[in-house]
Amino acid sequence: MKILLLLATLAMPMVAFFTQMGWFGPDSATVSNQYPTLLVAAGYAFAIWSVIFTLDLGFAIWQAMRRHRALPEQRELRIVTSVGFALTASWMIAFSAQMFWLALIIIWTALACILYGCLLMARAADPRGHMWLGLLSLGLHAGWLSLAAFLNTAQVAVAYQLLPAGDMLSWSLALWAAAALLVFWANAQLHGHPAYTLAVLWGLVGVYVEQSHSRLRGAEVSASVALSLALLLLAQTGWLLWRAHRAGERSLLPV
């Protein structure tokens, strides 16, 4: 299982490279630009993938070097993250080939796998903090996918004309509401882990930048929603970390 995890991790940057070379069709940015939505982020925001791939590799090496189980669900953690990493690589191929329904299924399944791996580590009793450090990788990955999955959903709606493309604000706000529920719930479950928060904030700011300059109807409202969610997420994370700090202080008090 350790080898499978390492291979799945290496597959992501390799597939990303071949995708940029046009092996499977137009690159992801070109395809995305064909279907503009009110949830798309500025192009620079997608550079976060290089950081995600690097940290994921560090996570896979860390798992490969462990001789003892850090938590009872260690094998389960490796399985779900291996599947999540493999699906992330597969999504690039499907999206580049413009198999949008398949890409949509893949990205949501990948998010479920990576987020489940995060929850396994976040719920582990780990006094040395190994699981907290492990969340640097999966937290960042899950955070970015938490927004990317909704972006992909919006683009599928536009690509197949499932919803009005001329006036996207109403259904885009519904997607924003669903995204907010997912993000705030996941952030609470992960106890405000900075990696998850930073990835989501990076995406929200990217959406704000892009929509602030977009000419699509409703873009200004979408930009305001993205900025508001970013501020609320910061507030929630600060509260979660403060509460965890206070709980730690109380546990040190003599009984």
* Nearest of 44, 48, 32, 35 to residue 209 by alpha carbon: 44
Q: Residue 248: its pLDDT value, please?
A: 64
Two tokens, residue 45: 């925001």
pTM beyond 0.95, yes or no: no
Domain that holds residue 188: 2-251
Q: Residue 141: its pLDDT value, please?
A: 97
Per-residue pLDDT of the chain (255 residues; tens, 9 = 90+): 778 888 999 999 999 999 888 898 888 888 888 899 999 999 999 999 999 999 999 988 887 776 665 556 778 888 999 999 999 999 999 999 999 999 999 999 999 999 999 998 888 766 455 667 778 899 999 999 999 999 999 999 999 989 888 889 999 999 999 999 999 999 999 989 999 999 999 999 999 999 999 999 999 999 999 999 999 999 999 999 988 877 764 433 343
Q: Residue 93: its pLDDT value, please?
A: 95
The string of DSSP codes covering the chain is -HHHHHHHHHHHHHHHHHHHTTSSSS-HHHHHHTS--TTPPPGGGGGHHHHHHHHHHHHHHHHHH--S-SSTTHHHHHHHHHHHHHHHHHHHHHHHTT-HHHHHHHHHHHHHHHHHHHHHHHTS--TT-HHHHHHHHHHHHHHHHHHHHHHHHHHHHHHTT-S-SS--HHHHHHHHHHHHHHHHHHHHHTTT-HHHHHHHHHHHHHHHHHHHS--STTHHHHHHHHHHHHHHHHHHHHHHHHHHHHHHHHHTS--
Tokens 């907290």 locate to 132
Separation of alpha carbons 106 and 88, rounded Å? 8
Please answer whether residues 53 and 13 qualify as being in contact, where contact means their C-beta atoms are separated by less than 8 angstroms.
yes
Q: Residue 119: its pLDDT value, please?
A: 92
Q: Residue 53: its pLDDT value, please?
A: 95
* Nearest of 148, 142, 164, 145 to residue 32 by alpha carbon: 148
Q: Residue 253: its pLDDT value, please?
A: 34
- The count of domains in the chain is 1
User: What b/e sequence results for 15-51 when a residue is b if at least 16 CB atoms lie within 10 Å of its CB, and e otherwise?
Assistant: bbeebeeeebbbbbeebbeebbbbbbbbeebbebbeb
